[in-house]
Chain A
């Protein structure tokens, strides 16, 4: 039997990582729920944000956590602009084309990153990188603990925005009934782009929380896009609660899978879950029929 003092930290690490995964997936599910767009460039934009945080740290000396107020609005603006210009124009509003357009975007972003920043794995070493906190049952690295708390906090803020703010109400109205929303005076194209911007802002926040315990690499997007999709499909496309829970499940699966099967085969666990859910319960845990 595996000792508890190996299993428990793995479990906790999985939960902490899962919370950040959930944040990434939240952005994806928000975009899907409103625009019915499957944003294939989600992982690539996360990769871009990771490099953004990395360069803010190495070139300007800004701590990743303090970079949050910079990277989040920047990614929001990028998301807004992408939707308004490229995605809306090139897809002619057809869902099957959106997937192809965002696939094109992801290929461009990934390979430009590879060209300009090379295939080196880049990490940062802030002073707290190797400090740990004692949770009573096990130790966990400080960056992991911070990212867990931060991801939950941002999720709560986003939920509040969707429930209380006018923008959130407009977004929900649009997701629910497009024609009706138009009739009561909601600017459809603007609100679409705002939702996309919000979804990408989540990615920016996730990047700032991830980088201290993670790395920047041009291939990050490719692996993350599948993780994010798995979470969203597991939780149910468009479901907030589903994304949160799905993120935690995937985080733990990855951590335990890596422990038992090694890193390479451990990743198959995620794909296996992805395929199994798509096949047997495509509505996910909390989703409506797609």
Chain B
């Protein structure tokens, strides 16, 4: 089912109007984090949702982007905005590397999931051991607030950046639904052997998808760095990122344009509620992630967006029978 372009533009326009309602730092932070999760989830969704290649290690691309942004600005003094682009490139390269290796050797399903996880772990151990990542101590970006330095005094600045990045990712999902490349990708998800028999360049299509997905993950990594100004191997390459990336679209709706947006807002909302209830005890929000993952697979395998048509039908006034 194709998503109309008007719907995509409408939703993004509504999000662009949101700052009018963001009167408190708390609300701004909430929406920024939701959009950041949506970006992370949409990146995963492009490969895992439309392409059916479910990665367990998207942190490999996220973390590589984040470290690239940090190292380029700390060691080489490159402007953080250029670092944002470089982070996307670094993420894409990591994705292309993982993709080239695993797709070339025909890894599918569980094997693909496991190999991506292994790559993320290797990257984490390397980042924990080599000097230029600051090893276990991590890297701190010195506070120097100015828009030219990609550090905003006002949260609203971050809001516009993350909105633009998420819009880019959403547009990419819309493009997949409306392009030959996307059609090839979906065909591969449905039946890889049949797609190959039809003459689709399976490896090249999958490689394109993972590179795109990883580039967006790298951008998310750079945003994370500028927003929190700190990075260590666990934050960059930890399981938490990989799980969030797949959980967001699963909750919202895998392989849909709006699934990651819906899933991200739902997940952040739940996070806030559970954080208030449990007093933010460490680890408990991950317990919630795990439970959500199982519950959504058990009871709502098509995600929250699958509720919308049902809801619309229920709300529509019934036409009288003898009109």
**A278 part of interface (Cβ distance < 8 Å):** yes
Q: Interface 1/0s, chain B 228-242, versus A by CB < 8 A?
A: 000000000001000
A155 to B287, CA, bound (A): 34
Q: Interface 1/0s, chain A 81-120, versus B by CB < 8 A?
A: 0000010011110011101110111111011101100000
**Inter-chain contacts of B290 with A (CB < 8 A):** 103-108, 111
Given A108-B287, A112-B287: A275 and B122 interface contact (C-beta under 8 Å)? yes
Interface residues of A in 173-195 (CB under 8 A from B): none
Given A38-B110, A226-B117, A278-B105: A90 and B298 interface contact (C-beta under 8 Å)? yes
Which of these binds chain B: A7-15, A17-25, A64-72, A263-271? A263-271
Q: Which of B118, B119, B126, B298 has the most CB of A within 10 A?
A: B118
Contact between A280 and B297, CB atoms less than 8 A apart: no
Contact between B282 and A226, CB atoms less than 8 A apart: no
Cross-interface CB contact of B287 among A101, A115, A279, cutoff 8 Å? A115
**A290 part of interface (Cβ distance < 8 Å):** yes
**A272 part of interface (Cβ distance < 8 Å):** yes
**B275 part of interface (Cβ distance < 8 Å):** no
Interface residues of B in 286-314 (CB under 8 A from A): 286-287, 289-295, 297-298, 301
Cross-interface CB contact of A271 among B105, B107, B121, B293, cutoff 8 Å? B121
Contact between B301 and A272, CB atoms less than 8 A apart: no
Contact between A99 and B110, CB atoms less than 8 A apart: yes
Contact between B291 and A104, CB atoms less than 8 A apart: yes
**A63 part of interface (Cβ distance < 8 Å):** no
**Inter-chain contacts of A95 with B (CB < 8 A):** 109-110
A196 to chain B, nearest CB (A): 16
**Inter-chain contacts of B114 with A (CB < 8 A):** 38, 229, 233, 274, 278
Given A90-B298, A114-B282, A282-B105: A108 and B291 interface contact (C-beta under 8 Å)? yes
A108 to B115, CA, bound (A): 22
Contact between A280 and B110, CB atoms less than 8 A apart: no
Contact between A89 and B121, CB atoms less than 8 A apart: no
B72 to chain A, nearest CB (A): 25
Contact between B293 and A104, CB atoms less than 8 A apart: yes
A219 to chain B, nearest CB (A): 10
Q: Which of A105, A115, A267 has the most CB of B within 10 A?
A: A115
Closest A residue to B107 by CB, please name it: A278
A150 to chain B, nearest CB (A): 29
**B101 part of interface (Cβ distance < 8 Å):** yes
A111 to B284, CA, bound (A): 7
**Inter-chain contacts of A91 with B (CB < 8 A):** 297
**Inter-chain contacts of A86 with B (CB < 8 A):** 294
**Inter-chain contacts of B281 with A (CB < 8 A):** 115
**B266 part of interface (Cβ distance < 8 Å):** no
Contact between A268 and B125, CB atoms less than 8 A apart: yes
A61 to chain B, nearest CB (A): 30
A208 to chain B, nearest CB (A): 26
A207 to B118, CA, bound (A): 24
Q: Interface 1/0s, chain B 95-124, versus A by CB < 8 A?
A: 000000110111101110111011101100
A290 to B5, CA, bound (A): 41
**Inter-chain contacts of B239 with A (CB < 8 A):** 107, 222
**B79 part of interface (Cβ distance < 8 Å):** no
Interface residues of A in 36-85 (CB under 8 A from B): 38
Closest B residue to A44 by CB, please name it: B290
Contact between A279 and B283, CB atoms less than 8 A apart: no
**B58 part of interface (Cβ distance < 8 Å):** no
A45 to chain B, nearest CB (A): 14
Contact between A107 and B293, CB atoms less than 8 A apart: yes
Known contacts A275-B115, A290-B111; 14 further A-B pairs (Cβ under 8 A): A38-B114, A92-B301, A104-B293, A110-B283, A111-B283, A111-B286, A112-B283, A115-B283, A222-B239, A226-B118, A226-B121, A271-B121, A274-B114, A279-B107
- 19 chain-A/chain-B pairs, Cβ below 8 angstroms: A38-B110, A89-B298, A90-B294, A90-B297, A95-B110, A99-B113, A103-B293, A108-B291, A111-B287, A111-B290, A112-B283, A115-B284, A226-B118, A265-B129, A268-B126, A278-B102, A278-B107, A279-B107, A282-B106
**4 closest residue pairs by CB, A with B:** A107-B290, A104-B293, A90-B298, A108-B290
